[in-house]
Amino acid sequence: MPASTPAVEILQIGPYPEWDQQPLDAAFTMHRYFEADDKKGFLTAVGSNVRGIATRGELGADRALIEALPKLEVISVYGVGYDAVDLAACRECGIRVTNTPDVLTKDVADLGVAMMMVQSRGMIGAEKWVRDGSWAAKGLYPLQKRVFGKKAGVLGLGRIGFEVAKRLAGFDMDIAYSDVAAKDYAPDWTFIESPVELAQHADFLFVTLAASAQTRHIVGREVINAVGPEGMIINISRAANIDEDALLDALEQGRLGSAALDVFEGEPKLNPRFLALDNVLLQPHHASGTFETRKAMGKLVRDNLIAHFSGADLLTPVL
């Protein structure tokens, strides 16, 4: 089968940039589910011929959607996270799943470290201090907290966690990590099996592990309290890995010093309690948001679909 397979019908769950949309439209017959007002009726009209799904990490594909597509063969996820895809349903139906790892790893790590720096040094407030005339009227900006030489904990030393730790090493930090087992590729860093003990170690706790049913709220009240009133939690993984109610309680009550977050439950409609806090840095889930990475992610989504329908091996299979 040639690389251009317009006869293959793909259900597109969310919008992509035009540089991805055009080649997808050229390669396949794309059905834009996200544009349909009557989604049930839309699936009734096109679902019987759909053989693939193109989705985004936060949108995924649930069991009801999967079971509404009797000819579905493959789900290609734009993003490294695939926790919003019902993998159990996919296994039952023999459906392949792909994601876009590696191409976004370093951008995500970059933003995580930048968030630590911005929050620790108070850079958002400092910029406002200059712009609103406070520097001239009130003098020097209040002192902030240093980063170099502090203790860092990385919860999940996979691709992204490893790149975060590499960057933190440049700040001469004491680095420890927690994972299912010690990693032979991290001989210079300390393995701490317990997330609570890792949090007790850390001035800065980075949450970088993949999301699953087992990791849901792994950063709960005990871990948050262990980070403590002088510590910071940075999340560049999935919102479900943190118990947001426990996090908000700790931030409001001063039991946690601060947080820097790129992901939220129910985003973009995050809990309004976050907006009232001055000890949390809020980012709009854009850790992979560079032109270079997003183009590479879109190409990988497309290439996985083309590979599947050409009978070639998937480039980045999950299932």
Instruction: State yes or no: pLDDT of 189 exceeds 70.
Output: yes
Q: What pLDDT is stored for residue 1 in this prediction?
A: 42
With a CB cutoff of 8 Å and minimum separation 6, the contacts of 71 are 48, 49, 50, 51
The predicted model scores a pTM of 0.91
What does the DSSP assignment read for 17-66? Answer: -HHHHHHHHHHSEEEEGGG-SSHHHHHHHHGGGEEEEEEETTT-B-HHHH
Candidates 164, 156, 54, 158; CA nearest to 101 is 158
What pLDDT is recorded for position 7?
86
| Separation CA 205–CA 277 (nearest Å) | 19
| Cis ω before 272 (30° cut-off from 0) | no
User: Exposed e or buried b for every residue in 138-176, given b needs 16+ CB within 10 A?
Assistant: eeebeeeeebeebbbbbbbbbbbbbbbbebbeebebebb
Of 240, 290, 241, which is closest to residue 106 (Cα–Cα)? 290
What are the tens digits of pLDDT across the range 116-139?
A: 999 999 999 999 999 999 999 999
Q: pLDDT of 59-118, one tens digit each?
A: 999 999 999 999 999 999 999 999 999 999 999 999 999 999 999 999 999 999 999 999
CB 297 within 8 A of CB 305: no
Which are the catalytic amino acids?
A: 238, 267, 285
pLDDT score at 37 = 96
Place 5 in a pLDDT band, splitting at 50, 70 and 90.
Answer: low
- Cα–Cα distance for residue pair 85/91, rounded to 1 Å: 11
- Distance between CA atoms of residues 123 and 115, nearest Å: 10
Q: How far apart are CA 280 and CA 303, in angstroms?
A: 38
What are 155's two structure tokens?
């919860």
pLDDT, tens digit, 9 for 90 and up, residues 134-159? 999 999 999 999 999 999 999 999 99
Average pLDDT over residues 1-21: 84
Average pLDDT, the chain: 96
Structure tokens at 53: 């799904």
pLDDT at 4: 54
The answer to whether the beta carbons of residues 301 and 100 sit under 8 Å apart is yes
Does residue 192 surpass a pLDDT of 70? yes
248 closest CA partner among 269, 230, 270, 268: 270
> Tokens 């889930």 appear where?
285
